[in-house]
Amino acid sequence: MTISVDLELCKQSRRRRSRLARFYLEHERGAIAGGALVILLLVWEAIGASGLVDPLFISSPTAVARAAWLLSQRRDFWTDLQVSATEFILGYGAALAVAIPLGLALGLSKRLQYLIGPFVDTLNAVPRVTLLPLIIIWCGIGIWSKVVVVF
């Protein structure tokens, strides 16, 4: 028993697909992810609006969006955001300036690896939060302590 498929019939069937169906098939991954996000937001909104959970612990997405909008209208928000961005950029830039040459040097030189490697491994093993009191003692509570934390 053989099955033959008429090529023209397949082409007609493909043309008959709606625009929405074609779009979905071409962007299936994004459509599923977007649909899951919409469902999550709807469930979150329903739980927040139902009053089953105290708004102190979970609020609705619309309340969060409203608060974010009101916060973005305040001038001090943008000033604080600029300070945080500056601290992050300085810390990340310093980390790049040190880490890339150090990584290349450690990768190229076995002796340097033997010399500095144990210190790098130890610093990687130590939880960062345990270093915060030392960083504050050494750098104070100004911008540089935050730059060192990002570093």
The answer for residues whose C-beta is within 8 angstroms of residue 106's C-beta and 6 or more apart is: 112, 113, 116, 117, 120
pLDDT one digit per residue (tens) for the chain, 151 residues:
555 555 555 555 556 667 888 887 888 888 889 999 999 999 988 888 887 888 788 888 888 899 999 998 998 999 999 999 999 999 999 999 998 998 898 888 889 888 988 888 888 888 888 888 888 888 888 888 888 887 8
Point out the domain boundary residue: 15, 48, 72.
72
Point out the domain boundary residue: 15, 45, 72.
72
How many separate domains does the chain show?
A: 2
Identify whether 58 is part of a domain: yes
Full residue range of the structural domain in which residue 90 is found: 75-150
Helix (H), strand (E) at residue 29: helix 28-50
